[in-house]
Amino acid sequence: MSTDNLPDVPEVPEEPIARRGMFGASDSGDTSGYGRLVVRRPAPLSSARPYGGYFDEVADALESAAGDAYAGMVERVVVDRGELTLHVARERLVEVMSHLRDDASLRFELSLGVSGVHYPEETGAELRAVYHLCSITLNRRVRVEVSCPDADPHIPSTVSVYPTHDWHERETYDFFGIVFDGHPALTRIEMPDDWDGHPQRKDYPLGGIPVQYRGATIPSPDNRRSYA
């Protein structure tokens, strides 16, 4: 087929590129057919006041409770898709969580858990711990995010504030490798103790382990056919 009349494909600029391909696979294992997919890296969001709804009341109450220390606690505030996210400095995390739980104007008594996120392209902030808090008293929700570099994957444990974070922090450590300093017993919770690596990181190998199924050996994904 002649390609004389086809439009030229514009060259993809090098920046900002988050990743190429469907699952970040660069060598093998990408059987999605989207090897030419380009995912661009969005600029970090930072919302300006007024945030809208009760979000301004939450920010005002936290600032009032923290006093002069507020500027060193909250690095930025993001309001997106009807949700409020506080990006908090990791060394002030426990202090912020205590204010959110105990201050009468905040009263985020319930934590819905701790999860991890891996952004390998975010140099110096590759790993994040995410906390979803709920105020039953005031019927409000807030998300707290804390980042740490891959070279120093340490974040203070918040078990002292929300005891239910015990197993959640263990799972986040297990799957992402974030070390929660001060945790009473930070050990793997789902993977074997001698497991190599952290399976939910984006740089973790896509497959590579043959599976035994009813006597048949299923080859690992990196040995199956590719649709490159």
The runs of H, that is alpha helices, within 31-164 are 55-66, 70-73, 93-102
The predicted pLDDT at position 66 comes to 94
Are 35 and 90 members of one domain?
Answer: no
| DSSP classification of residue 20 | E
For residues 33 and 91, membership in a common domain is answered with: no
Does residue 132 form part of some domain? yes
Residues 197 and 128 in one domain: yes
* Assigned domain for 8 exists: no
Q: Are residues 32 and 122 in the same domain?
A: no
Both 73 and 27 in one domain: the answer is: no
Tell me the two tokens of residue 223: 């040995």
Query: Is 29 a residue whose pLDDT tops 70?
Result: no
- Give the structural domain span for 105: 52-202
Residue 196 shares a structural domain with residue 88:
yes
Q: Note whether 158 and 131 are same-domain residues.
A: yes
Q: Is the pTM of this model over 0.95?
A: no
CA 214 to each of CA 196, 208, 211, 218: distance values in angstroms, whole numbers, following the listed order = 26, 19, 10, 10
Please check whether residues 20 and 101 belong to one and the same domain.
no
User: Does residue 25 sit in the same domain as residue 108?
Assistant: no
Q: Tokens standing for 16? A: 């900002």
Whether the predicted pLDDT of 142 surpasses 50: yes
| Number of domains into which the chain is organized | 2
**What pLDDT sits at residue 125?**
95
Average pLDDT value for residue range 17-30:
60
pLDDT digits (tens, 9 = 90+) for 154-212: 999 999 999 999 999 999 999 999 999 999 999 999 998 888 889 899 888 766 565 55
Domain-located, residue 131: yes
Give yes or no: residues 39 and 86 share one domain.
no
- Decide if 28 is inside a domain: yes
Pick from 7-11, 44-48, 136-140 the range whose average pLDDT is largest: 136-140
Q: In a 3-state reduction of DSSP, which class is residue 56? A: helix
Higher pLDDT, residue 178 or 7: 178
Whether 89 and 162 map to the same domain: the answer is yes
Residue 162: which CATH number?
A: 3.30.460.80
What is d(CA 106, CA 224) in angstroms, rounded to the nearest whole number? Answer: 53
Q: Hey, CA dihedral for 111, 115, 120, 121, is it positive or negative?
A: negative
Classify residue 227: in a domain, yes or no: no
Q: Is 58 among the domain residues?
A: yes
Same domain, 59 and 33: no
How distant is the alpha carbon of residue 155 from its chain centre? 13
Structural domain contains residue 78: yes
Which residues have a Cβ under 8 Å from the Cβ of 218 and sit 6 or more positions away? 210, 211, 212
Express each pLDDT in 43-93 by its tens digit: 677 999 999 999 999 999 999 999 999 989 999 999 999 999 999 999 999
In a domain, residue 228? The reply is no
Q: Output the DSSP codes for 127-163.
A: EEEEEEEEETTTTEEEEEEEEE-TTS-EEE--TTT-T
